[in-house]
Chains A and B, each alone.
Chain A
Amino acid sequence: MHELSLAQGIIQVIEEELEKRKEKGTVQKINLRIGQLSCVEPEALLFSFGFCSKETQCENAVLNIEKVPLACECQNCGKNFLPKEAIFICPDCKSCRIKILSGEEFYIDSFEIE
């Protein structure tokens, strides 16, 4: 389970941002964008974040997770599509030569402080 290191990563990024802005407030909410294909399990992330955030400015923060669907582009015919299965096959030309446009990201979009 690497949700633990991701939870530590989130806290690290936010602490750096707070430091940069000389912000002393407490973080209320963290807005994340997590790709469908990032292999991140939200439940495990929430659990890890719970104990990683203790005694940090993120201690009381709520994680707001927005899932980003997987979007692909066929490299053969150029069609954009949202695959229904884990194997990506172009619905039009049936090619397997597919580029992933989104769905692999793990972004901190923003956070809210008080």
Chain B
Amino acid sequence: MKIKVLKDVLKANDTIAEENRTILRKKGILTLNLMSSPGAGKTLILEKTVERLKKDFKIGVIEGDVSTSNDARRLARYDIPVIQINTDSIGGACHLDANMVKEALGSLNLSSIQILFIENIGNLICPAGFDLGEDKKIIVLSLTEGEDKPVKYPVAFRKADLLLVNKLDLLNHLDIDLELLLKNSRKVNPDLKSIQLSARTGEGIDKWAQWIKKNLDLKKRRSGALGS
């Protein structure tokens, strides 16, 4: 006997992601999902961002790694709520999924958060396939990775809302063509905006902080409009 199902296996994730989005919308929390390959500098960018925004905004972080709580410890120094998700206890998953984020949301006091950063697992492939309930997907690409990454890993770049080009302080020490890198990213995603920065020196962090503030304002206005 043949039984028709016609069910999307990834649908289960999308359903939970929508639940997360609803919870976060009600609280007016801007949620940003940071994706990159390992070592692109997500954690240092977050440290510098928290330093910059901490006195004006209440920030929370969900840290995803296969193993260790090193990154969570780095961020907890800023005295903000940080939840570490390690996927080695759940099969070493290569990405965060909506259910892991849902559980993490359960352990955060959402009333005291305005901006929530989700640092995804370092991987340019799988995280792009899983909606977590975030407002924006941010892709971090460091100059040392080469200008062809957007065309080599197009799926992640296609889904991103913003590209952060990190390690700008190395620009003059590398044979990298920054213009070509940006051109490649627009080949995959014509609307992709980019901000160039160096988490190490702090250059460009202001511009990124402005982008976050603008999006938080937009979110607040939208949540307000929905509430009235």
Q: Which residues does A use to contact B, with CB under 8 Å?
A: 1-2, 4-6, 9-10, 12-14, 17, 21, 23, 25, 37-39, 86-89, 96-97, 105-114
Contacts and interface: CB of A to CB of B under 8 A. Distances in A.
A39 B125 CA distance: 8
A106 B1 contact: no
9 contacts: A4-B91, A17-B3, A39-B129, A39-B155, A89-B187, A96-B187, A107-B7, A108-B5, A109-B6
Given A88-B188, A107-B8, 11 more contacts: A2-B94, A5-B91, A5-B97, A9-B10, A9-B12, A12-B12, A39-B126, A86-B154, A97-B190, A113-B1, A114-B1
A112 B2 contact: yes
Interface of B: 1-10, 12, 91, 93-95, 97, 125-126, 129, 151, 154-155, 186-188, 190
Given A86-B151, A87-B187, A21 B129 contact: no
B12 A111 contact: no
A13 B7 contact: yes
Interface residues of chain B: helix, strand, loop or mixed (majority): mixed
A110 B151 contact: no
Nearest to B10: A106
Contacts of B12: 9, 12-13
Contacts of B1: 25, 112-114
A96 B10 CA distance: 27
B109 to A, nearest CB: 29
A37 B97 CA distance: 19
B93 A2 contact: yes
A111 B3 contact: yes
A5 B155 contact: no
Contact of B190 (A4, A37, A96): A96
B3 A110 contact: yes
Given A37-B155, A39-B125, A14 B93 contact: no
Nearest to A108: B5
A87 B158 CA distance: 10
Contacts of A105: 8
Contacts of B151: 86-87
A30 to B, nearest CB: 9
B186 A111 contact: no
B129 A110 contact: no
A114 B3 CA distance: 11
B3 A112 contact: yes
Given A5-B93, A87-B154, A87-B187, A108 B125 contact: no
Contact of B3 (A2, A12, A113): A113
Contacts of A38: 129
A110 B187 contact: no
Contact of B2 (A5, A17, A96, A110): A110
B161 to A, nearest CB: 16
A2 B126 contact: yes
B107 to A, nearest CB: 22
A109 B6 CA distance: 4
Name, among A2, A86, A89, the residue most crowded by chain B CB atoms within 10 Å (CB to CB): A2
Name, among B5, B9, B95, B151, the residue most crowded by chain A CB atoms within 10 Å (CB to CB): B9
